[in-house]
Structure formats: C-alpha cells, structure tokens
Amino acid sequence: MKLRKSLFLSLLLAVSQPIWAAVTEVSINDLYPHRSHRQSTIVITDVISKYHYRDISLDDALSSQMLERYLDTLDPNRSFFIREDVAAFSIYEKKLDDALKQAQLDPAFKIFRTYRQRVNQQIKLALQLLDEKFDFTKDEEYRFDRSKSSWVSNQSELDALWRKRVKNDVLSLRMADKDDKAIHKTLSERYAGIVRRTNQLNADDVFQLFINAYTLSLEPHTSYMSPSLSENFDISMRLSLEGIGAVLSVKNEHTVVQSVVPGGPAELNGEIKAGDRITGVAQADKDIIDVVGWRLQDVVEKIRGPKGSVVRLQVLPKDATMGGPSKIVTIVRNKIKLEEQAAKKSIIEELDGMEKRRIGVIEVPTFYRDFRAYSKGDKNFRSTTRDVRKLLAELSNEGVDGVVVDLRQNGGGSLTEATELTGLFIKSGPVVQVKDTLGKVEIESDPDPKIAYSGPLAVLVNRNSASASEIFAGAIQDYGRGIIIGEPTFGKGTVQTLIDLDRLVTAGTEELGRLRLTMAQFFRVSGGSTQFRGVVPDIIFPTATNAQEHGERSLENALPWAQIGAAEFKAENITDSIYLRERHLKRIKSDAGFRMLQEEEQLIQAVTEQHTVTLLETQRRTKWNERDEKIRGNRNRYRIAKGLKPLTKTEQSDDEIDSKADHDEEKIDQIMVNEAAHILSDLISLQGSHAKKLQLSKVEKMANSKQDCTLTIVGC
C-alpha cells in the first residue's frame, strides 16, 4: 500500500495529552496490571523495534528518560511528589527497559498508587486552607509554573507551596469580583474535582500513561490509545464535524486552545485564538462551571453538544497573565461547513505606496479532499486543487498582476492535494520525497505538464503552517517558482499510521487498543527535511520572534532536521530577495500595523516568560491595569493611524467597536496579506526591470553584431 493512503488519517489525530475515559471511582486495590496490559506491551515494543522511524535501543539510557517523563506526566507542575518520593522511585531508573522487555509493569503501578495517595493528601490540605483568612497586603510571590523547578525537599515545603497556591486561587477570583461565598464554593469544587478525577483513573488509564512515557521518549508523535480511548476517539471522529471546532490540550492545569478548525464555529466567532485558556464552561444560560484542573476529556464533553445548542466559555486570553481578566465567549455549536473550509479569493488594489496593480489572494485554510465522493467515482468531488484551479482562472479573467497563496494557520491535510496543488504552478516533476523506516525513498510527483497559473507568485506562511502546507511551500521555494513570505513554519515533517493492536495477535479475546506510530519522514525535492526547521521564508516578518519556542522545535525528543539526496528536478530562476527585503524593511519601519503586531508579540512573549505572580493585591491590580493600558494603547496607536476612533477603557477589543461602527476597518489578519501584496508588487517591478534589461541587452548585441559585420565587409 502506498504511503499516501495512510497519511490523511494521521493528520486527523491530535492526541497531545492523555485523554482518560473512566467515570467511576476505582479502588486503589484494583490498580494492578492486567493480562491485556502485558500482552499489549509485548506487541507495542515489538512493533516499535521493527517499524518506528527512529532506531533507538530500549536500554538504561531510555529507561532513565521514561522514568523522568512518567513522573512529569503524573505531576507536571511538581505539586504532589517530594524529593523523598522521587529518590524512592530512582530504584527503577535503569530497570524500566527490562520491565518493558519482560512485560512486568508493577513499577508503573506502584508509582501511580503513591501518586494517588499524595493527591488525596494535598487536596485535603487545600480544602482546609480555604477556611483561612489570607493577608493580601503581604508582599509574596507564587510560582504557578513549576514544570522546570526542582522537587521540593520535604513535606513542610510542599505544604507551604500549597498555601500560596490556594492564596493565589482565592486572589484570582477576588480579582474577578467574586464574593467570599462564591470563591469558597468554586475552589471547593475545583479541588474536590482533582481528587475525584484522579480516583477515577483505572488500570487501563495507568497503563496508557506509562506506555506513553515510553513512546514519547522516542519522539512526540508516537502514542498509545487504550481500548476505552480508542472507542472514544472513534466517537469523536464521527462527531468531529459538530461542536465548536477547536483542538485542545492541557498545560498547568488549564485547557489550552491549540488551534481553531477552519470553518468551525470558533473560527467564525473570531473571539477564540490559539493559546487562549478555557477556565469555565456553561450550557446556554446556566452558570459557568469552573474547569481549571479538569481532565481534558471531561472539558471536551462539557464543550461538545448537539448542533444549534449554545455553549458559553470563560476564556483567559493568551496575552493575559495568570489570574488576569477573563472574558465570556458565546458560541452556537454547529457542523463545520465545507464551504467555510474551502479556498477563497479576493483582490487587493490601491494600497498605499504600491504601484497601480491588482494582486489576487487565495486563502487555503486546509488541504481538503472529499475521499468518499472520490471513491464513489463522483467526477465532481470537492478538493483544494479543483477549487484553487477555478479561482486562478477567475482571477486571471479579472486581470490580476500576481497571486498570493495564503497558508497561514493551515495545519495540513491530504498529501495528494499538496502534490496536485503544487502541480498547478509547475511543470510535471517531483514535489516531495518520503523516506520510510527501511530507508526506502518514495517520490510523490505531479504528472500533469499543464500549468494553471504561470504569473508572479508569493506564498504567505506563519508558525502554524504545517505538514502539507510545508510540502507545498517547500516545493514552490525549491523550484524557484515563487517567493515565500512570513514566519518559519511549524516543522511537522513526519508521517504517522494508526495500528490496531488486536489485529497483531492470534490468541486472546481482550481488546488491546491502538498505536499511533511514526514510520516515515518528508523530504523536500532539494533533499532537506521539512521536519524541525520547517520552511524558512525568503522574507521573514519581524513577528517571527523566538522561533525555537514554537512548533516542532519546542517539543522534547522531536526528530532532528535531516537531509537525503536531491530528486531530479529543474528549478526556475531563483529570485534575489535582497532588494525585496530592503524594500520590505523600509516600508514596515513606518507601518502602524506591523508596529502593533510586533508590540503585541512582545506582550505575549512577556506573559509566556512569566512563571511567577505577586500575591500582593494592590500590586497585582496595578500590573493588571498596566497590561490593559499597554494593549489598548498599542491598538489605539494603530487605530488612530488609520483614522479610526480609539478604544475606550470599557471597550476591550476591536470586535466591540466594529459591531457599532468602523465596519470598513482593515482587519489585523489583513496586515500581513497587504504586505505580502506589496512584496509581490516589488517582485513584479523587479522582474519587469530585468526583462527590460534583457531586451536592451539583446538589442545591443544585435546592433553590435551588425556593426561588426559592416566593419568586416569594409575591411574586405
């Protein structure tokens, strides 16, 4: 079977955090490995040793990594274990590899039983601390992100840490104008929920946690799903086109929006962005339920619901500090509409400083393909390539001078579509190379020599452009077919397949679950991988700060960048981007939009780098207000430059003003697109200048040739 047949499924998976499905409390005496767990272990280790793309020995070094990752998975913020516990677990540091080889899983369960006891113990303390009267005039700090901190030395230090944690939780709710009674109720339920959800984890859940400590020590995209999670995954896939359309994960006990799905209610609503944290959920007009510290699956089940129903989310924006101001976002659940996912076109003209040109823009939110219609033989099946081909023809008829393909936020999709879409802009040839576990390289090529569009081309990407987007952008760059603009892309250059473990055993009736296995890697036609580095634009926008903290580069154990031999392909003339870069930098130096984007990026970066928060209420409120003023001041400088009414203190976003007036405001997302149009316009001018020089050179050569001939005749 060709690799492409298994790629689409891998791009649908987004298991970035273990999702547990147990719903009733489990006796601690039942937390022991089962026969099915041992059988699954044997199959998983065998499959990984034979077929995983990365060849890593199951040895003492890996055992040490597994122990560290298992403890980090159980207690990521180092809030339950103390140094004495970790020292006791160290007896397994070089034994977990042997335990896996022999399918002896007792160490994992012993560690988990200790963890469960520690959770019960610390939450009991937290509930007691709620009855204290905290002094918010005392100058203290609380470290809310302890993921990189040392384990505390003893129980008294841990209790002191929890006192600050409870104090911080109380202060955060005070800042949100909750009264004492409401604060006590909210936090009592939050803390009790932590115990309840921990005590619901069964033996399957523990096994899954431990096995994923092993798989994630190999690289980030190989993971195990227990039978219950596999069933839940199937349900979620059947329901995947309903809900709010957001990919979620967990960090520091907060549910974090990883991305919003193109065409989904969340994207159409426009108030939820990647990086935002969901702290509460309510159904329609019911009260908000605090979901801080909840299991991801429980939060998903609260958010999920039938089409047409209303869900309200309490959201802490990504640029807000921990404990800062949140907002309520109301969303009507709906199916993800294909027409909203489909490619769209627009035309940019009459931009300040741009020559009188019409630049076509094609936005491609995802690489979609209606596989069901295709398999049925429907000649009119929907696909990215078909839609873009039609849009290109329309833009050509409308007389555009160049085209920008906008791939920002495009997380990938069908490999077939990435290949065929590239074919619209190049003559037939290779598009991407796929290297499997055995070292065999398969080339995906565009067999169609027809070109749908041969004019000036730019591709706009950002840090969230991934997988299929990187294949397309990389090929366009390698062929010299167009100029790549924006931010370095995500760097997701590996291929996964989903393996049903039940099919690999001949005996036994117990379900074993599934393994998501990394088994190949993408390489560009020039030989370099799209993995880790991503695609580096020819012109990088100044918003591309701290690239190491985004995408694949930020993940532990990510496969490194690699290189193989180049495929046979013919590149066009590569554009010298120095002139274009100089023009770009000069232009954005005085551009209000880019200045705003850069300042917002700096604010977000400051929040990201902050790991502590003050417990002095006056100082906390001062910092809160200062942050709001910075955001509002930054946005207002941009609005004033555009001749728009500035935001007042009660207006927190452009959306609140846009609903009243200023409907013609240039959207923030359009700032980058407009600059891409400027750059493409510069490229057209540059190509025109080169064409004139070339023509003059030809005329000059012809004149010289005639003159030489005349002289020769005279001489004769």
Give the separation between CA 287 and CA 282, rounded to whole angstroms: 6
E runs forming strands in 413-540? 429-436, 441-446, 457-461, 483-486, 494-500, 514-523, 539-540
User: What DSSP character marks residue 566?
Assistant: P
Q: Which two tokens stand for residue 490?
A: 């995500």
Give the separation between CA 206 and CA 224, rounded to whole angstroms: 12
Place of tokens 């849009």: 391
Q: Are 152 and 161 in contact (CB under 8 A)?
A: yes
131-144 b/e with 16+ CB inside 10 Å = b? Answer: eeebebeeeeebeb
CA distance to 370, 389, 424, 431, 562, per residue, from 445 (Å): 21, 18, 12, 5, 21
Give the separation between CA 320 and CA 316, rounded to whole angstroms: 6
Q: Nearest-CA neighbor of 485 among 687, 688, 679, 345?
A: 679
Give the separation between CA 371 and CA 382, rounded to whole angstroms: 9
Give the separation between CA 35 and CA 23, rounded to whole angstroms: 22
155-170 b/e with 16+ CB inside 10 Å = b? Answer: eeebeebbbbbbbbbb
Give the separation between CA 359 and CA 688, rounded to whole angstroms: 16
In this structure, the strands spanning 277-283 and 310-316 are antiparallel
Calculated CA dihedral for residues 206, 212, 213, 218, nearest 10 degrees: 170
Give the separation between CA 482 and CA 475, rounded to whole angstroms: 10
CB-count exposure of residue 73 (10 Å: 0-12, 13-18, 19+): middle
Residue 629's H or E segment, with its range, is helix 617-641
Helical ranges in 145-260 per DSSP H: 155-175, 180-199, 203-215, 227-238
For 272-337, the three-class secondary structure string (H helix, E strand, C coil) is CCCCCEEEEEEECCCCCEECCCCCHHHHHHHHCCCCCCEEEEEEECCCCCCCCCCEEEEEECCCCC
CA distance to 32, 223, 441, 498, 534, per residue, from 434 (Å): 42, 21, 5, 18, 15
* Cα four-point dihedral sign 486, 490, 495, 496: negative
Number of H helices, E strands in the chain: 22, 19
Q: Are 257 and 16 in contact (CB under 8 A)?
A: no
Identity of the residue numbered 143: R
Residues marked as catalytic: 467, 478, 492
In this structure, the strands spanning 358-363 and 344-349 are antiparallel
Which residues are 540's β-sheet partners? Answer: 486
Q: Are 129 and 99 in contact (CB under 8 A)?
A: no
